[in-house]
Copies of this chain bind each other. A is one copy, B any other.
């Protein structure tokens, strides 16, 4: 009998010690019960950045990219000391240029002394069903949270995990005003280390203004459907990375019509155009160099005309300054986190100065 009791006590001890090392199970709340920011409008598929069914003229590629959760973030308050996530993605072939973390992962920022401070990542699995602890062992007390969703995939579902018995609630949108950014892969975030490093998200955290990311990788050659989307947006200002992908000829043919369509809907809203970067892929390739020089000349000539005709149009040139060491892109085209930092250091104050004239401050 004594042996039996000893055995049972030992078993109990082993079980207790065993479970002590295992992280406490989290409780999950559906992401749709929290606040979404950085979206043009609510969408049927809850985490898409645009309701693509409203725009039948979008190309197939842009339709797919605009179904991504790019730029969208959840905001919430919680007193949990742990935050986790379970999420599923539609599944997109991986790129060779960015990591799974940028593609299907998420990153969390928590407000501290008035600043959004990096708190952790939600690391994706090598499948479309993901689960991750984002941050743990946090101090007691309320945290105001901002979670950027994946840059290059469509989210099918998302749940946020908290410690059992703790509280989580939707919070008000912490960002003022609405600035819609329409652009290329550089805006979409190819080259960003994680979702919150795409330059519109960085601008948002730094300024406190809401920046809505409508960048589409390899796209935005000023096709009319991009102008229709812009025309349809409620926005206090627009930022355009529209000179990265079109040829000189496309710029010559399309720029005026692109602006005219937007102006018909937004007669005096500030339209800020960024000159595209000087691509590092041109360093030794004479054909790319010629193509890029022609593009840049065409955008400069086109903008000169527009600037004379419309005093609410702006052209930031250089619009994507990357320094002089040729080291700030991932692949010769897409700025890395270093490229984004160099670019923002120069253009952020210029953007802020322009917006201020319109009471956006």
When the two chains form their complex, are residues B191 and A126 in contact, meaning their CB atoms are under 8 A apart?
A: no
Q: Are B197 and A331 in contact (CB under 8 A)?
A: no
Most chain B CB within 10 A, of A94, A125, A137, A143, is at: A137
Residue of B whose beta carbon sits closest to that of A190: B99
Total chain A interface residues with beta-carbon distance under 8 A: 53
Check A91 for interface membership: any CB of B closer than 8 A.
no
A99 near B105: Cβ-Cβ < 8 Å: no
Which B residues lie within 8 Å of A202 (CB)? 327
- Given A137-B288, A285-B136: A118 in contact with B332 (beta carbons within 8 A): yes
A287 and B118 form a contact (CB under 8 A): no
Contact residues in B for A41 (Cβ distance below 8 Å): none
A contacts with B: majority SS:
loop
Instruction: Contact check, B101 vs A94: say whether CB atoms are below 8 A apart.
Output: no
Residues of A with Cβ closer than 8 Å to B?
A: 93-101, 105, 110, 112, 117-121, 123-126, 135-139, 143, 191, 193-194, 197, 202, 280-281, 283-288, 326-332, 336-341
Contact A101 B331 (CB under 8 A): yes
New A-B contacts (16) at CB < 8 Å, excluding given A123-B331, A336-B338: A93-B126, A94-B100, A96-B101, A96-B124, A96-B126, A97-B100, A101-B331, A112-B283, A120-B284, A121-B331, A135-B284, A135-B285, A137-B287, A139-B284, A194-B330, A327-B341
Chain B hits for A330, CB < 8 A: 99, 101, 193-194, 337
| List of B residues within 8 angstroms of A120 by Cβ | 281, 284-285, 332
> Residue A126 contacts which of B94, B105, B193 (CB distance < 8 angstroms)?
B94
Specify which chain B residues have a CB less than 8 angstroms from the CB of A338 in the assembled complex. Answer: 336-338, 340-341
Q: In the bound complex, do residue B99 and residue A194 qualify as a contact, i.e. CB atoms below 8 Å apart?
A: no
